[in-house]
Structure 1
Amino acid sequence: MIEFKHVSKLYSNGVKGLDDVTLQIKQGEFVGIIGLSGAGKSTLLRSINRMHEITSGELIVNGSEVKSLKGIELRKFRRSIGMIFQSFHLVTRTTVIKNVLTANVPDMPFWRVLLGAFTKENKIAALEALDKVGILEKAYIRTEQLSGGQQQRVALARTLAQNPKIILADEPVAALDPVTAKQVMDDFKRINKEMNITILINIHHVELALNYANRIIGIRAGKILYDGPASEVDEDVLNKIYGKEITKEEPKWESIIEY
């Protein structure tokens, strides 16, 4: 359970990243977060694992009040939340499996990290994670030899190796072509269904959000303007969120991208 209670975030330049946000997200939901650039999508997402500190209100994640966490408690809390970025954040000059194994580094003694001495259990878990995203055969290939879509799958496998309860994905398909983006979104959807992992995706492509997410959160200037089923998002809702005349079908992939 993720619960925002009147949460606001005010940046030092006076911009409101979040403005009195109240919402609940249950375990196992697949949530798409949509809105213009600068609307507060990333702020909403990154406040959940405290990459961004909220200014006021209360944010409770799996029973923990996020603002109160410190030190070991905060690190342990963050281990239960996977994070996927647009830019993959991989070490491209090493193998795929070594990238996935880095998920274990926070829990390892320093000498093991220094020597790269991962356990047999670590390696089995890494291979299982790669299998779940369909690239087990790439385990011992240098990451730089993979396509962008395959690299994003490596990043997803690394997150799965953490055994997370929640996955936060910040524009995970923005750098991918439409076909590859669909393949990666298929992976997210399958993992959500099979593993009951809560997934929140900040996404510019409205069409993808509506096709894959069960629930849509629409945000503008830090305020939640829509929170409900993807099936009920119509042109009036989209016009309210984006402030311009658009439709769900036209112009497809370029409907809402960076402004």
Structure 2
Amino acid sequence: MQVFVFENVNKVYPNGTVGLKDISLSVQDGEFVAVIGRSGAGKSTLIRSINKMHPISSGKLLVNDVDVSTLEGRQLRKLRRSIGMIFQSFNLVTRTTVIKNVLTSFVPDLSLWRRILGVFPRDRKLKALEALDKVGILEKAYTRVDQLSGGQQQRVALARTLAQNPSIILADEPVAALDPVTARQVMDDFKRINKELGITVIINIHHVELALAYADRVIGIKAGQIVYDGPADRVDDAVLETIYGERSDEAV
């Protein structure tokens, strides 16, 4: 089953900068896809258009057969609940505990009084703990986030996303700020979640060696256009030259 489809998608920012040019692709349920390319090639724009963080300018973008461009308000929030988003900066509240950060994924589902008082039902707390267990940091549940390493913080962000039970996880440079050993540990988490839970993972990543080691499929972007889309094990020096050759600064 196709979880999302781009049909002749273009993105032009208000200042005239071209983000995407005539993008057509589809991703199947359960795929692990790495998006690679130079800085400014359009990787983040591609990832963030899927949940309408960056609305497209023209073309059609379908997620689970729904035209994303038509969604607003409650419908858009519902879509975003089904799509987990992981950032390089973690986006955690560092002065509180790990479990409280994971519990924030349930806030949209709470009644008004529970939101105001910060009171979470027992079943939500159990789900938060289960999510932490899935990424191997259950023992850190009641530790303050600012006492964790960068890799552990990224795992908290991943647990928070898992707690919302997404069908798709979008990861925008999730290991860029991590050392090589920790980056591989986090990539192991993504791979395990993809295989064991069947969650589709789309990851925008600068580290080509990690992309080739973990992804089943690689999409190479240059100047907002797809210049390679195929199996990771078929990416050779010629493909990399096509993707990372002479730079164009037109895309972001």
Shift of 1:92: 0.6
- Among 5, 9, 18, which residue is 2:20 paired with? 18
Q: Residue 198 of structure 1 aligns to which amino acid in structure 2?
A: T
1:4-83 residue pairs with structure 2 within 5 A? 4-83=6-85
Q: Percent identity?
A: 70
Q: Residue 92 of structure 1 aligns to which amino acid in structure 2?
A: T
**Cα deviation digits, residues 216-237 of structure 1 (max 9, x gap):** 0000010000000000000000
**Cα deviation digits, residues 14-64 of structure 1 (max 9, x gap):** 221000000000010000000011100000000000000100000000111
Are 1:227 and 2:229 matched, yes or no?
yes
**Cα deviation digits, residues 227-250 of structure 1 (max 9, x gap):** 000000000000001106xxxxxx
Q: Residue 170 of structure 1 aligns to which amino acid in structure 2?
A: D
Measured in 1, the distance between the counterparts of 2:116 and 2:156 equals: 22
**Cα deviation digits, residues 160-188 of structure 1 (max 9, x gap):** 00000000000000000000000000000
Measured in 2, the distance between the counterparts of 1:71 and 1:78 equals: 11
- Among 175, 178, 187, which residue is 1:176 paired with? 178
Measured in 1, the distance between the counterparts of 2:71 and 2:13 equals: 21
Partner of 2:91: 89
Q: Residue 62 of structure 2 aligns to which amino acid in structure 1?
A: I
Q: Work out the number of aligned pairs and report it.
A: 244
Measured in 2, the distance between the counterparts of 1:107 and 1:50 equals: 21
**Cα deviation digits, residues 62-91 of structure 1 (max 9, x gap):** 111000112111111110000000000000
Find the residue that maps to 1:176 and give its secondary structure: coil
Partner of 2:242: 240
Unmatched tracts of structure 2, length 5 or more:
247-252
Output the aligned Cα RMSD: 0.7
Instruction: Provide runs of 4+ in structure 1 moved above 3 Å.
Output: none
Measured in 2, the distance between the counterparts of 1:234 and 1:34 equals: 14
Find the residue that maps to 1:99 and give its secondary structure: helix
Measured in 1, the distance between the counterparts of 2:109 and 2:69 equals: 23
Partner of 1:253: none
Partner of 1:153: 155
Question: Structure 1 length normalisation: TM-score?
Answer: 0.93
Q: Residue 228 of structure 1 aligns to which amino acid in structure 2?
A: G
Measured in 2, the distance between the counterparts of 1:194 and 1:73 equals: 29
Shift of 1:106: 1.3
Find the residue that maps to 1:94 and give its secondary structure: coil
Shift of 1:154: 0.1
**Cα deviation digits, residues 188-241 of structure 1 (max 9, x gap):** 000000011000000000000000000000000100000000000000000001
Are 1:132 and 2:152 matched, yes or no?
no
Question: Structure 2 length normalisation: TM-score?
Answer: 0.96
Find the residue that maps to 1:3 and give its secondary structure: strand
Measured in 1, the distance between the counterparts of 2:112 and 2:177 equals: 35
